[in-house]
Amino acid sequence: MIPAHGGRLVDRLVRSEERERVTKQLGSLPKFQLNEREASDLELIATGGFSPLEGFLNESDYVSVRDRMRLSNDLPWSLPVTLAVKPGDKAKYQPGQDLALVDVDGKVLGSMHVEDVYQVDHKTEAEQVLRTNDAAHPGVEYLQSITNTYLGGRISMVERRAHTQFMDFRLDPKETRVLFKHKGWKRVVAFQTRNPIHRAHEYIQKCALEMVDGLLVHPLMGKTKGDDIPEDIRFECYNALLGQYFPKERVAMSIFPAAMRYAGPREAIFHALVRKNFGCTHFIVGRDHAGVGNYYGTYDAQLIFDEFEPGEIGITPMLFEHAFFDLKSGAMGTDKTCPPAEEKGQRVFLSGTKVREMLSNGESPPAEFTRPEIAQILMKSMTPKS
């Protein structure tokens, strides 16, 4: 089995037999309320998804990650995982302190030992990590919503944040590793998505699957933009697609409970490293991975892998070009594998805007673009409820 990033799968979950005692102790500590992204980070740190991180970044790791995509020990890490104090609370914290981390309803999720309290410059962070300072970028918008005082320190988790949906599909890194072993998969490719899967992505997944033993469809279902398709609809789409068009023995689905950062290239590296922690050996990177708007070049999220030695990343990126249905060859493909288009309309491809327009008019996109079963679900979800 592929080792976790840094060599050891982090486990910062308080054991069930100690949970009651520890939770009681935490009751007496100052409370720190986590926002949705921070709560999701807590869960992924504690369960090893963010190995080797054992907590929120301290200043030296933060600066190193921000400026050179590496932790201070040189291990590649591309996104700052940080905890910002609430406005007006800046003076409340000092190194050495223990905090109880609570969710928006005040429920205790875990604890943190503050090692570091430091000031950051959001403009520098945005420019380095997001490659933009435009307030219209959701990552920049997030930075503008938080303070510039960060706390660094190790965490423990006593309680999961409140998940109510897809409970059978929430596998921790430890569990996906058991699953792959049980299935006898040595080489597993992970597919990250925050959208319904149209045929272009089905094609890429199958291409990748031909090279390995199994496919993990690992949809991100944490905090996303308001105009992304709702989680339950996406879940229904994934189930329909896998049930109808894939062999059960070769595909698994699990929820990736992370928040989207829309950091494009940097987030592609992050998504790959994290999937290594989940036990995957390969990771699909298509065009515009984790992108938003026009902030990143179409293939920037592929090119960034060249900035590391393959052994440093450890998980193998599988890079794909823009896919479409080619009417001449009667098959899906890309510019790499299809004959040149001799006439307009030889290739079936629709823009996201066009697809949304068709679906909301109750019109099904062509079967060459979207499987009819998926189109049905999407159309139904877009019909105004009476």
| Residues at the contact surface with its own copies, assessed by CB under 8 A | 203-204, 206-207, 209-211, 244-248, 250, 318-321, 328-340, 367
Q: Minimum distance from CB of 17 to its own copies (Å)?
A: 42
Query: From the candidates 195, 239, 250, 356, which is the catalytic residue?
Result: 195
Residue 51 · residue 8 · CB < 8 Å: yes
Quick one: CA torsion of 167, 169, 171, 177, rounded to 10 degrees?
Answer: 150
Three-class DSSP category at 333: strand
Alpha carbons within 13 A on the beta-carbon side of 267: 20
- Please say which residue, 157 or 209, places its beta carbon nearer to its own copies: 209
Give the phi and the psi of residue 36 in degrees, each rounded to 5: -60, -45
Within 10 angstroms of residue 324's Cβ, the number of other Cβ atoms is 22
- Please say which residue, 50 or 320, places its beta carbon nearer to its own copies: 320
Q: Following DSSP, what letter does each residue of 244-305 receive, concatenated?
A: HHS-GGGEEE--B-PPP---THHHHHHHHHHHHHTT-SEEEE-TTTT--TTSS-TTHHHHGG
Residue 332 · residue 200 · CB < 8 Å: yes
- Please say which residue, 254 or 316, places its beta carbon nearer to its own copies: 316
Q: Specify whether 195 is catalytic.
A: yes
Q: Minimum distance from CB of 381 to its own copies (Å)?
A: 23
Within 10 angstroms of residue 239's Cβ, the number of other Cβ atoms is 16
Residue 58 · residue 150 · CB < 8 Å: no
- Please say which residue, 144 or 337, places its beta carbon nearer to its own copies: 337
- Please say which residue, 106 or 247, places its beta carbon nearer to its own copies: 247
Q: Minimum distance from CB of 116 to its own copies (Å)?
A: 42
Q: Minimum distance from CB of 286 to its own copies (Å)?
A: 11
> Beta strand 347-348 with 55-56: parallel, antiparallel or unpaired?
unpaired
Determine the Cα–Cα distance for residues 282 and 275; give it in Å rounded to an integer. Answer: 8
Query: From the candidates 66, 177, 194, 266, which is the catalytic residue?
Result: 194
Rg (CA), the chain: 21
Determine the Cα–Cα distance for residues 286 and 284; give it in Å rounded to an integer. Answer: 6
Token pair 């960034």: residue: 304
Buried b (16+ CB within 10 A) or exposed e, 191-212: bbbbebbbbbbbbbbebbbeeb
The H-assigned helical ranges of the chain are: 16-26, 36-46, 59-68, 122-125, 138-145, 173-183, 199-211, 231-245, 265-277, 300-303, 310-313, 352-360, 372-382
Three-class DSSP category at 125: helix
Token pair 């740190």: residue: 45
Residues acting as catalytic residues: 194-195
